[in-house]
A = this chain, B = another copy of it.
Amino acid sequence: MVDVWEVKERVIEDNDAESKKVQAYLSSRNVFMVNLMGSPGAGKTTTLLRIIENLKDSFRIGVMEADVDSKVDAETIAKTGVRTVQLHTGGSCHMDADMTLRGLNYLDAEGLDAVFLENIGNLVCPAEFDVGAAKKVMILSVPEGDDKPLKYPLMFKVSDCLLINKIDTAPVFDFDMDRLHEHVSALNPDMPVFPVSSKTGEGFEVFTDWLKKEILSWRKQNV
């Protein structure tokens, strides 16, 4: 077995400068933004539905659905009545800060309390491109396996919170929660981890209580 090479191709250019513009846009409008990331099929959209259900009475919520193609997720979210836009990255495997700012302008975040960006399903590039969100929430689903922190460490390092989704399916998978916690602790020891099922709703109250506190605390500091 041979380690073949290390290529550090950084095409992140001025993304960090752009992400400060996003932060300024959000801060001046007192809008808390979450960057929601995870693999294809991890359950990002169904998780958003649960978040909207639990938080819509406390906050005015907006959603930006990023996809390479299609608008199925935005249509699903729009049915809840929250302000929704579909963003097409046209081939790009992640959202960057400039795209996010344009998305926010289309959404018109004015008057909203919290905006959720559902990023492209991908564990690599979304971790590298900071889009200026107040919090990065990562979803890992049980069927993906407990070894993912070893293979996609940056995503686990940069996230502020980890949801372990689809815990209702644990009986049919060899997912070791202790081993997952070990791997995660090595990368990001203080990150809160919430086991949930976006299908049954299990665990969501604990998570959205945490999120609510984060939103209120951010808004208090932002004033």
Contacts and interface: CB of A to CB of B under 8 A. Distances in A.
Interface in A10-48: 10-11, 39-41
B2 A68 contact: no
Given A40-B123, A40-B152, A69-B153, A106 B143 contact: no
Contacts of A172: 168-169, 171-172
A7 to B, nearest CB: 5
Given A69-B150, A124-B122, A88 B4 contact: yes
A148 interface: yes
Interface stretch (A51-59, A89-97, A202-210, A214-222): A89-97
Given A67-B151, A69-B152, A91-B9, A86 B41 contact: no
B123 A2 contact: no
Contacts of A10: 91
Interface string A49-85: 0000000000000000001111111110010000011
Chain A interface residue bracket vs B: 35 or more
Nearest to A71: B1
B39 A4 contact: no
A213 interface: no
Given A4-B87, A41-B148, 14 more contacts: A1-B86, A2-B106, A4-B88, A6-B88, A7-B89, A7-B90, A8-B91, A41-B143, A68-B124, A69-B150, A70-B153, A72-B150, A91-B154, A122-B122
